[in-house]
Amino acid sequence: MTGRLSGKTAIVTGAGSGIGRATAIRFAQEGASVVAAGLPEGLDETVEFCREAGVRAVAAVADVSQATSGEAILEAALGISSCANVLVNNVGIAGTTAAYDTTDEEFDRVFDVNLKSVLRVSRPFLQLCRSQSAPASIVNISSVQGILGFPNNASYAATKAGMIGLTRQMANDCARFNVRVNVVAPGIIDTPRTEERLRDSPAFRKLSVQSTPLGRPGRADEVAAACLFLASDDASFITGQILAVDGGASATVFRS
């Protein structure tokens, strides 16, 4: 690796598995100290993988649906470094119903975890950024479902679209103190959350894979590579943008 994040401290939420774990490990391999944040399952293992890269890494157990989660995560970061430079907001849960069947309770739950948490975790990080001179970067993990319509995902799609709007607003609000904010929009990615559905549901596989021009699911490390680019100085003049990591799905119509 090339040390593209050497000297930086990175916070990654939802780091216990999938895209979050892959991103935390890739950041560690590129020289960042890492705070792996989220629910307990898998966090310690992610931290060990990060430490194998020779960097400092800690777990920050936090439920991002709780009001004080952002402060707790930032406190863990400041326990290993005097500043924090990178934040990846990756936590997300799925909605599984069409708009006409989505209840207020489901919508509120998905909204609270997927979208409200971005503000909840970013706010203390940004307040710190305003007081430190070093540039910083936030990468929010949205989805192509925030750009395109898919069946039976009304609450999930709404929150992922909202994340794109919030990202652009944050980019405008925060540029004055040298913070860049961008969004990665993955397509179908082979993670523990999707593996079973890809294997057991032909309809899901057809919709998600056969409609992807590259003809396969993406890998978590491919999303991590996009996050690394946006977090690094290679993207120093990029803010408020959407980077789709979707095998071309957002560039085409459904292919049967």
Question: Residue 156 sits in which domain range?
Answer: 9-190+219-245
- What is the pTM for the complete model shown? 0.94
SS3 208: helix
* Residue 165 lies inside a defined structural domain of this protein: yes
* Residue 256 lies inside a defined structural domain of this protein: no
Express each pLDDT in 24-39 by its tens digit.
999 999 999 999 999 9
Model confidence at 240, pLDDT cuts 50, 70, 90, reads: very high
Catalytic residue among 95, 156, 179, 184: 156
CATH classification of the domain holding 25: 3.40.50.720
Active site residue 100: no
CA distance 40 to 60: 8
Q: How many domains does the chain have?
A: 1
Of the candidates 156, 148, 157, the one whose C-alpha atom is nearest the C-alpha of residue 254 is 148
Taking residues 65-70, report their average pLDDT. 95
* Residue 202 lies inside a defined structural domain of this protein: no
Q: Is the pLDDT of residue 60 over 80?
A: yes
* Residue 177 lies inside a defined structural domain of this protein: yes
CA distance 9 to 256: 44
Taking residues 214-231, report their average pLDDT. 96
* Residue 21 lies inside a defined structural domain of this protein: yes
Q: Is the pLDDT of residue 256 over 70?
A: no
> What is the structure's pLDDT at 253?
67
The sign of the dihedral angle between the CA atoms of 236, 241, 244, 248 is negative
Give the CA angle between residues 131, 36, 68 to the nearest 5°. 60
Taking residues 218-228, report their average pLDDT. 97
Express each pLDDT in 82-125 by its tens digit.
899 999 999 999 887 899 999 999 999 999 999 999 999 999 99
Q: Percent of the chain, pLDDT > 70?
A: 94
